[in-house]
């Protein structure tokens, strides 16, 4: 009878160990993804705030008139005051 109890205890401990391993591994995965995204966001914010450090010339999303990438075809007043 003690032989069967030892087997049940061992199997229970193995199952608990597997669950704990998956739980810890999953948390490491989530924390790793979080830190990676924080790093990317920080780099993006740094590039926008200090473009001279990252080789850029200005803020992303700056005015089309300044960047020269788009030319407005109408005045702003005519767009909204029809």
Q: How many domains does the chain have?
A: 1
Q: Sorting pLDDT into bands at 50, 70 and 90, what band is 1?
A: very low
| Residue range of the domain that includes 34 | 1-53
Is 70 exceeded by the pLDDT of residue 6? no
> Is residue 33 assigned to a domain?
yes
Whole-prediction pTM: 0.44
Is 80 exceeded by the pLDDT of residue 76? no
pLDDT score, position 35: 93
> Is residue 59 assigned to a domain?
no
> Is residue 72 assigned to a domain?
no
Q: Calculate the dihedral angle through the C-alpha atoms of 8, 10, 13, 15, rounding to the nearest 10 degrees.
A: -70
Tokens 């990438």 belong to residue: 69
Tokens 């049940």 belong to residue: 8
* 18-62 confidence digits (pLDDT tens): 999 989 988 988 999 999 999 998 888 888 888 777 776 555 556
pLDDT score, position 36: 93
Query: For residue 67, what are its two tokens?
Result: 């960047």
């Amino acid at each position: 009878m003690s032989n069967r109890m030892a087997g049940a205890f061992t199997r229970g401990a193995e199952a608990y160990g597997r669950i704990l391993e998956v739980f810890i591994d999953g948390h490491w995965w989530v924390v790793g993804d979080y830190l990676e995204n924080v790093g990317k966001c920080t780099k993006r914010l740094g590039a926008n705030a200090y473009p001279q450090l990252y080789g850029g010339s200005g803020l992303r999303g700056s005015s089309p008139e300044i960047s020269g990438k788009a030319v407005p075809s109408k005045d702003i007043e005519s767009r909204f005051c029809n």
